[in-house]
Amino acid sequence: MIAKLFEKLSSENRAALVTFISCGDPSISFTKKLVKAVCESGADIVELGVPFSDPMADGAVIQASSQRALASGTTILSVIEMAGELRKDGIDKPFVLFSYFNPIFKIGVEKIAAKCKENGIDALLVVDAPMEESREITSVTEKFGVDFIPLAAPTSPLDRIEKISQSGSGFLYYVTVAGVTGARDSLPEHFARRLADVRKASSLPVAAGFGISNPQMARLAAESADAVVVGSRLVYMAHETLIKDGESAALNGVSNFVKSLYSQMLR
């Protein structure tokens, strides 16, 4: 499904909008409504973030969100089951299960891959699985037709990026900045030039993520990448508005934000 989506968007000269959702914050029931809202507002792909006790790649916003989700009893299995319920409700956008390896290892790669397939999850992204160790996962996910989304860092040499892209499928997640997740005010210097080089090196479409926080940044990223990922800003907005103004306001606020991002995806 993901490969076909990128083919379609390429013919339309449009970048994909990828939204990250911190699942279970503050509950799975709210998350289901949030996923529906972003899908209806223009998200092309949804990353379903699995809460983890030690999210070393994430900044303060997603760390706090993970803690709230864990406190509500959210697990990797409850996130996968939620995806299945969303499929039954008619949500058909590609889902990427976004997790650290520990929750997957505890249950078993084969069981997780099977449940992903059963519940309509299209891909698995494992934040802390380097290329050298990814075959332990991809040898299983391939059997179930589940994509494995590889990651490349801004410090990765281009020859390594080429190999990283060949180790996965779906798209290459390119981390645009060194450090952890979190909204930032601007894109890195020489962003466009670096993305052009990364896209040439990659055998997969390239999604740019980490730090993209507003429509202006999304527009600049869309001009250089095949997909734009927005996470921390969306997670922060959903939580803060929910606390201050309630569920309806939170869903409306996120919907309007996603619409504003979607409007910038056409090149």
Active site residues per annotation: 47, 58
Question: CA 98 to CA 256: how far, in whole Å?
Answer: 24
Q: Which amino acid is it at 29?
A: S
Note every long-range contact of 183-186, with CB atoms under 8 Å and residues 24 or more positions apart, other chains counting: 183/61, 183/211, 183/213, 183/232, 183/233, 183/236, 184/211, 184/212, 184/213, 184/217, 185/213, 186/217
Query: 78, 149, 73, 146: which is closest to 110 by C-alpha?
Result: 146
User: What dihedral do alpha carbons 114, 42, 14, 158 form, nearest 10°?
Assistant: -50
